């Protein structure tokens, strides 16, 4: 009897190993991939989310907006309709993380230059400094493709609300102007339904490669 159970034990172990190998093989053959998450306010660090939204678990989308780009053109959500895009927050006089972030946006622009379905959108957090002329000068210096990438300025409150209530991307400046903010290194990937599908460190080259991979994945899933 003991010999039977001992033999059965070895059979069970061998059978389990074989099953794991078969399952791994099938998984690789089918190339099963999970879809990118749809980020909600409850999934993001509370310091990045306006207090009015910290409870929200579903149906979060980027709000309507009307801002002005580096060419003095009014840019709204209609310009990004049915497009996948990468958004960030910056300011032209920043000497720390912004130059790195902008260089990485330029890299993304170059890597996806032949894909008209992918756009970029950079919001200044110092609209009092970043006039249209200032944004244009910065755009020319950095090699921004006007057809693909908008650098936008506008009313400070609207930019703040977009940052805190839509993109979930910047921190409050406690004790100062209620519409002051500390921008982060975050790049946000937005789908055709105006939903956030990913957050990426805009200063990290490996994160940029992950972002580009996710863009291709999102485009494939959107078909």
Binding residues for Cu cation: 94, 98, 183
Q: Strands 196-201 and 186-190, how do they pair?
A: antiparallel
Annotated binding site: 94, 98, 183
CA distance 126 to 154: 9
CA distance 127 to 91: 8
Task: Tell me the DSSP string of 66-134.
Answer: EEE-TTS-EEEGGGGTT-EEEEEEE-TT--SSHHHHHHHHHHHHHHTTT-TTEEEEEEES-TTT--HHH
CA distance 149 to 70: 10
User: Which of 86, 147, 129, 212 has its CA nearest to residue 138?
Assistant: 129
Residues in the chain: 223
CA distances from 105 to 37, 64, 179 (A): 22, 23, 26
Cβ partners under 8 Å of residue 154, min gap 6:
66, 67, 68, 127
DSSP 47: G
Task: Give the residue carrying structure tokens 């409850």.
Answer: 42
């Amino acid at each position: 009897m003991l010999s039977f159970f001992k033999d059965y034990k070895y059979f069970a172990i061998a059978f389990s190993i074989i099953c794991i190998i078969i399952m791994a093989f099938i998984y690789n053959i089918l190339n099963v991939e999970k879809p990118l998450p749809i980020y909600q306010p409850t999934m993001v660090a509370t310091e990045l989310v306006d207090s009015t939204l910290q409870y929200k678990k579903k149906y979060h989308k980027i709000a309507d907006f009307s801002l002005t780009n580096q060419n003095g053109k009014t840019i709204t959500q209609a310009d990004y309709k049915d497009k996948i895009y990468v958004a960030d927050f910056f300011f032209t006089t920043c000497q720390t993380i912004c130059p790195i972030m902008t260089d990485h946006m330029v890299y993304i622009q170059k890597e996806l230059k032949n894909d008209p379905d992918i756009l970029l959108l950079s919001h200044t957090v110092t609209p009092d400094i970043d006039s249209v002329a200032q944004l244009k000068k910065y755009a020319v210096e950095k090699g921004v493709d006007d057809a693909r990438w908008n650098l936008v300025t506008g009313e400070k409150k609207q930019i703040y609300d977009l940052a805190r209530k839509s993109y979930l991307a910047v921190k409050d400046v406690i004790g100062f102007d209620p519409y002051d903010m500390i921008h982060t290194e975050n790049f946000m990937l937005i789908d055709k339904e105006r939903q956030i599908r990913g957050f990426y460190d805009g200063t990290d080259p490996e994160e940029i490669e992950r972002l580009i991979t996710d863009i291709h994945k999102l485009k494939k899933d959107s078909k």
